[in-house]
Each structure stands twice: as C-alpha cells, then as structure tokens.
C-alpha cells in the first residue's frame, strides 16, 4: 500500500549484467495449499465488457461500443464492493490527472476473480507521467465529462464524471471531490522536495503545475509546497 492509500503492483529496479531492468511481481498469481503457483483469473477493463484491445481508448470507439465512464460504472457494479471500488476509481482518476498520467486506458485497469466468487479491482499498474514526453499526446484515455484534455476540464465536467459513475447527489459529489482532491494534493506536495533530491525536478514541476491548475477548479485549496516558486515544465 502506498502512502497515498493505493495498492500497486510490486516493482523494483534490478541489474542483470550491465542492464537495468524493471522487475514486477505478478499480482494475478498466488500459491495454493501445496505451495504451487496458481493463476488468478483476471480481466482488464477491455475484456470485461467484451471490447477488443484496439478500443482501449475512448476516442477509438463508437457511442455503442467504447471504453468510457458509463462502461466503467457497469464493470465496477459487478465487483463485490461496488461503492468502495467506485471511490477508489475516483481517487485513481484524480491521482492520474495530478501526476500527468493520461494513459489510463482500458488495458491498464483490471478485475481479479478471487476465491469464493469475490471480484475486486486489481492493484494499479503501468503508472507513468506520460505528459513529460513531448512525443506523446496530451489527450485523455477517457473523457472527463465533455473534456478530452486536462486543460479543458471544468468543475461541471468533473461533476458529470461523478454523476455518470453513479454519485447522484450534488452535495455528495462536492464532498467527494473536495475531500479526495485535498488529501491527494497534500500527499503529493509532501513528496515534491524528495522528487527533486532524487533528480526528478521535471516530474515535481509537472505535479506542482497540475495541482495549481486542478485544485481551484475542484474547489480545494492549494497546499503549501505547490507554490509558484516551482517551475512549470513544458509538456506536449
């Protein structure tokens, strides 16, 4: 579990000969009673609703067949804890926006089918600040309301996103938005100086710039540590 409360796949950088490699422990494997490796059934968010991998981005689909927020709600409704999973997905979406990851497509979310017919969303994986790469698009994998990019998102768009996920009460939408935005921003701001010390100043700048753009729109205060003294990176 990360300091921000996300369960993620276990990964480490290892050296194999003269090559640095990323070693990731599979979360869809477990040991059975005899100590043998057993496979846990997994479906990503394209497979679960029957979409091909080619339609993993909303922009590639059609209104009748695409990866979008309405489809995600149907997938989450099939889990053992739909309300809890919906809340975690909202937090994951905000985290991706704040950290510049616009590649949260259907193949980067998955369901795990566990013992006794329990279905849950898998730990998070393939998390990258894609907006640091000027060669990649800044278009979101799925639209937030009517917005296709982070810069275009308005408070009304995020409200529409929550309503489509099933948060019907306006008061509940405001409460969820402000609570999650504030807690995630506090946690990310606490990490900015450490990122800089580790040589990741551009990533820290990206996070700070995203927070300054998103938080006023979401109705949350900008924490100390995300001040204009932090530079703003150029992103593509």
What's the rounded Cα separation, in Å, for the pair 71 and 69?
5
CB neighbour list of residue 232: distance below 8 Å, 6 or more residues apart: 205, 208, 209
> Hey, what are 84's tokens?
């809890």
Please provide the DSSP assignment of 153-195 as one string.
--HHHHHHHHHHHT---HHHHHHHHHHHHHHHHHHHHHHHHHH
Give the DSSP H or E segment for 19: strand 19-24
Catalytic residue among 44, 96, 103, 205: 103
Please provide the DSSP assignment of 64-132 as one string.
TB---HHHHHHHHHTSS-HHHHHHHHHHHHHHHHHHT-----GGG-EEEEETTTEEEEPPB-----GGG
| DSSP single-letter state for residue 223 | P
CB neighbour list of residue 198: distance below 8 Å, 6 or more residues apart: none
186 labelled catalytic: no
CB 103 within 8 A of CB 130: yes
Checking DSSP bridges between strand 29-31 and strand 37-39, what pairing results, if any?
antiparallel
Q: Give me the active site residues, please.
A: 103
């Amino acid at each position: 579990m990360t300091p921000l409360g996300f369960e993620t796949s276990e990964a480490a950088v290892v050296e194999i000969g003269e090559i640095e490699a990323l070693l990731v422990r599979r979360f869809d494997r477990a040991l059975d009673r005899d100590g043998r490796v057993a496979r846990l059934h997994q479906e990503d968010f394209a497979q679960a609703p029957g979409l091909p991998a080619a339609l993993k981005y909303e922009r590639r689909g059609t209104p009748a067949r695409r990866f979008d927020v309405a489809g995600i709600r149907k997938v989450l409704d099939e889990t053992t804890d739909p309300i809890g999973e919906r809340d975690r997905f909202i937090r994951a979406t905000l985290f991706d926006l704040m950290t510049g990851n616009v590649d949260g497509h259907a193949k980067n979310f998955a369901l795990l089918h566990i013992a006794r017919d329990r279905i849950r969303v898998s730990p998070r994986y393939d998390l990258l600040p894609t907006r640091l790469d000027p060669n990649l698009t800044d278009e979101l994998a799925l639209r937030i309301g009517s917005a296709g990019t982070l810069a275009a998102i308005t408070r009304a768009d995020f409200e529409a996103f929550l309503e489509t996920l099933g948060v019907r009460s306006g008061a509940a939408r405001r409460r969820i938005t402000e609570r999650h935005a504030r807690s995630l921003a506090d946690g990310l701001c606490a990490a900015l100086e450490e990122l800089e010390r580790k040589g990741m100043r551009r990533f820290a700048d990206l996070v700070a710039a995203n927070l300054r753009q998103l938080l006023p729109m979401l109705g949350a205060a900008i924490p100390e540590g995300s001040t204009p003294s932090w530079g703003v990176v150029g992103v593509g």
